[in-house]
Structure 1
Amino acid sequence: MLRILLFEIRKLLEQPIILLFFIACLMLNTIYIATAGLDQSYLNYVQDTKTKTGSFITSEFQEKLSNMSSSNQHNRLLTETDERENIFNQYSTEALGQEMIDYFQIQGSMAEKMKIKYEKLTPIVHELAEEQAALEVGAAGETMSFFTFLKNRLFHAILGESLIFALLLGLYGSTSERLTKTDVLIITSKTGRKTQVTKYVASLIIALLFYVTTVTLSFAIFNQMHTIGTLWSTSISTQFHLNVYVPQSLEIPFIPWKSMTLLNYILLSIALGGILVFICHGFNFLIGLWANLLFRGFVLFVVFYVSLLGLEQIINHLNWWDMRSLLMWHPISLWNLQAYWFTEMGPFSTIPWHESIAMAVNIILLVIAGILTARYYSTKEVK
């Protein structure tokens, strides 16, 4: 088993397209990072200033800051931290829930579920108020730019690249014998059919290795170009960072279901992203077994995805909120919602920790689909 597994891994790694795709993704991510437009000089100034004033906006912080030598960056920091308050004191999650319901015109049972969800958010807000998370300076006015780029753009791109790779590798892993016309030799014996398990494990290892390597190198390149230092330990719920549902119309405090720093949030997102890669690879491997051809399996996936997007647009237009909430459990929808992971998710969910529960549900569905496919494949006829 191990010998065959190593052989299958080597066979996949010998495919030039895998290395080319990895290099292309890394180059795109590097260009993306280099052109991010982040104000590194201001971040450095704020970092240096915090060592003298402290990391929280208090009266002592403002007094020390006002006594420092004047400059454009100093004046900007003074303006951005002037009269800042702990926004989580007396913050009403019930009012936030009603704001969501009114803005998106949510009706029926969905509206009641939304109210219950936001009631459950109240203890989290109290915890953030006690920690004074909202008063953390971070990078002041540049906090939103850095946080948004890291978690909503760079990681979103990395995860998207990894999912594309996992989807294609899953299809290729289960249809490669057909491409080389050796499928007859595989299917005609029980031992041959069992090699598909080895192919699955081999392609999964490569998919996860691609994801881990791309994440590690991309964030290392970012950290080399943009040294953000103590920003990693800043609360993700600082008032300088908002959760944006509709720009300039619906921007609310960033409230996760558990108090987190930027580093905690990114690491948790990376872990959950790995699970999503595992799920998408698995489903497409099974699609390949049923479709029997790489191109046919790819067409089936694209048709399904396009249909899903079309259905989502129709449901959004008709305001069928109950139906819309069901679509949010699909793996591709979970990737689309990655910017809202671990938060209340606004109109996209009615339960806490939606993304984590949805991942668990998808793993269960993958196991069931795997069992059904194994029964089909064990009696599959050679064509």
Structure 2
Amino acid sequence: MLRIIPFEIRKLVEQPMILLFFIACLSLNTIYILTAGLDQSYLNYVQETELKTGNLVTSDFREKLSNQSTSRKQQRLLTETAELENIFQDYSTEAMGQQIIGFYKIQGAVAERMKTKYEKLTPVASELGEEQAALEVGAAGETMSFFTFIRNRLFRAILGESLIFAILLGLYGSTSERFTKTDMLVMTSKTGRKTQISKYIASLIITSLFYIMMVILTFGIFNHLHPIGSLWQTSMSTLFHINVYIPYLLEVPFITWQPMTLVNYTILSILLGGLLVILCHGFNFLVGIWTNHLFRGFIVFVVIYVVFLGLEQFIYQFGWWNMHSLLMWHPISLWRVQGYWFTEMGPYSIIPWQESIATIINLFLLILGGLLTSKFYATKEVK
């Protein structure tokens, strides 16, 4: 069946909607970048200043900065760095955990597991304290704006577009013969049904290429319009960057499960996002096989998505944290909490690196679902 894959890829690429969707997404991302409202001039000033003062806010940094020529940007930078301190020196992650547990009124076994989670975060905070990560100047007061735009807006847009593409191509890949009315001809034989393997591989290749190209081109355009230079090497845990939990706006330090710079965090997010795209494509390919119709398969996905979101809100309102913690392992939840990936994730996780572990578990479930579907499909009656 491997020799059929190039022909299946060609059939997909020849669909005009694929190119149009790609161009539309890239255009939207470009507009998004152009209208980001980031203060590039201040970032440039801070980076130029770092060459003379160093990137850690110490007394020496403040002294050198004070001796620089007076300007509005200099006064702003002096103000923003005036009271910065190494908060991770003797920082209590247990107290941070108690704050989050109390804020969300989490009780029972989930609260106990979360206490254990925050105890395991203590060595990370100690390491951040030794590295003086909190004192890294980054882009000073603009650090939060740049970091949030990159990880929580720009990448979220890329991931969302790629997941939509994965949904549609996964469904189309397994139901395309229905559109050309060749399903009765192809799928009534054992050999013909095996072409679904080729269709899966072909649609997965196109989906992966879409995601990879969208990442490369979008970040390429961003870096061209907003060259952020050394900001890529700034710690994610600088004091100028915090984790904000909504809807009640609880603010805590941004602590990842191992010290990371912006570039490390972005690369890991891209890799985990790629696995989510593979999951989304795979599960919807299987839905297409079971429903044997693109539109019906899409309706099934929408119903599951809407019911899941409604159930999550219902459970959250009633404080059923045991059920809430189980829902956080679902791929939909993994996408929704993308902005908290690789951190302690507050009320959205009960163990370290939960988003990564949950993704791996879902990949195993996808493989299991594929095996079960292949047995069903081998004897399915084509209508």
Please report the TM-score for the alignment, with normalisation by the length of structure 1: 0.99
Equivalent residues of 1:140, 1:240 under 8 A apart: yes
* Deviation of the 1:13 alpha carbon: 0.4
Task: State how far apart, in whole Å, the 1-side matches of 2:125 and 2:318 are.
Answer: 33
Task: State how far apart, in whole Å, the 1-side matches of 2:59 and 2:341 are.
Answer: 34
Partner secondary structure for residue 251 of structure 2: strand
1:91 aligned onto 2:91: yes
* Deviation of the 1:287 alpha carbon: 0.3
Task: State how far apart, in whole Å, the 2-side matches of 1:65 and 1:26 are.
Answer: 41
Q: Deviations 1:24-52 (Å, cap 9, x if unpaired)?
A: 00000000000000000000000100000
* Deviation of the 1:2 alpha carbon: 3.7
Residue type at the aligned position of 1:303: V
Corresponding residue for 2:342? 342
Please report the TM-score for the alignment, with normalisation by the length of structure 2: 0.99
Corresponding residue for 1:172? 172
Task: State how far apart, in whole Å, the 2-side matches of 1:248 and 1:179 are.
Answer: 48
Q: Deviations 1:161-202 (Å, cap 9, x if unpaired)?
A: 000000110000000001111111122111101100000000
Corresponding residue for 1:132? 132
* Deviation of the 1:248 alpha carbon: 7.7
Task: State how far apart, in whole Å, the 2-side matches of 1:321 and 1:46 are.
Answer: 44
Task: State how far apart, in whole Å, the 2-side matches of 1:249 and 1:185 are.
Answer: 58
Corresponding residue for 1:56? 56
Q: Percent identity?
A: 70
Partner secondary structure for residue 243 of structure 1: strand
Aligned residue pairs total 383
Corresponding residue for 2:312? 312
Equivalent residues of 1:187, 1:380 under 8 A apart: no
Task: State how far apart, in whole Å, the 2-side matches of 1:332 and 1:161 are.
Answer: 14
Corresponding residue for 2:24? 24
* Deviation of the 1:249 alpha carbon: 4.2
Corresponding residue for 1:43? 43
Task: State how far apart, in whole Å, the 2-side matches of 1:66 and 1:74 are.
Answer: 8
> In structure 2, do the counterparts of structure 1 residues 105 and 165 end up closer, same or farther at CA, with 3 Å as the change threshold?
same
Residue type at the aligned position of 1:142: E
Task: State how far apart, in whole Å, the 2-side matches of 1:36 and 1:154 are.
Answer: 9
Unaligned stretches of 5+ residues in structure 1 = none
Residue type at the aligned position of 1:88: F
> In structure 2, do the counterparts of structure 1 residues 249 and 160 end up closer, same or farther at CA, with 3 Å as the change threshold?
closer
| 1:129-208 equivalences in 2 (<5 Å) | 129-208=129-208
Corresponding residue for 1:356? 356
Q: Deviations 1:302-349 (Å, cap 9, x if unpaired)?
A: 001000011011101101011111111111111110000000000011
Equivalent residues of 1:94, 1:119 under 8 A apart: yes
Corresponding residue for 1:224? 224
Task: State how far apart, in whole Å, the 2-side matches of 1:83 and 1:297 are.
Answer: 56
Partner secondary structure for residue 278 of structure 2: helix
Larger displacement relative to structure 2 (241-250 or 34-43) = 241-250
* Deviation of the 1:381 alpha carbon: 1.0
Residue type at the aligned position of 1:162: S
Task: State how far apart, in whole Å, the 2-side matches of 1:303 and 1:336 are.
Answer: 17
Corresponding residue for 1:286? 286
Task: State how far apart, in whole Å, the 2-side matches of 1:310 and 1:218 are.
Answer: 33
Task: State how far apart, in whole Å, the 2-side matches of 1:282 and 1:95 are.
Answer: 41
Equivalent residues of 1:151, 1:266 under 8 A apart: yes
Partner secondary structure for residue 163 of structure 1: helix
Residue type at the aligned position of 2:376: Y
1:73 aligned onto 2:73: yes
Equivalent residues of 1:57, 1:84 under 8 A apart: yes
Runs of 4+ displaced beyond 6 Å: none
Corresponding residue for 2:372? 372
Task: State how far apart, in whole Å, the 2-side matches of 1:146 and 1:377 are.
Answer: 49
Corresponding residue for 2:264? 264
Task: State how far apart, in whole Å, the 2-side matches of 1:70 and 1:269 are.
Answer: 40
Task: State how far apart, in whole Å, the 2-side matches of 1:332 and 1:21 are.
Answer: 22
Equivalent residues of 1:22, 1:210 under 8 A apart: yes
Residue type at the aligned position of 2:60: E
| 1:294-333 equivalences in 2 (<5 Å) | 294-333=294-333
Corresponding residue for 1:8? 8
* Deviation of the 1:56 alpha carbon: 0.5
Residue type at the aligned position of 2:236: I
Task: State how far apart, in whole Å, the 2-side matches of 1:81 and 1:196 are.
Answer: 60
Partner secondary structure for residue 31 of structure 1: helix
Partner secondary structure for residue 352 of structure 2: coil
* Deviation of the 1:213 alpha carbon: 0.2
Residue type at the aligned position of 2:375: R
Residue type at the aligned position of 1:101: I
Partner secondary structure for residue 42 of structure 1: helix
> In structure 2, do the counterparts of structure 1 residues 81 and 247 end up closer, same or farther at CA, with 3 Å as the change threshold?
farther
* Deviation of the 1:247 alpha carbon: 7.2
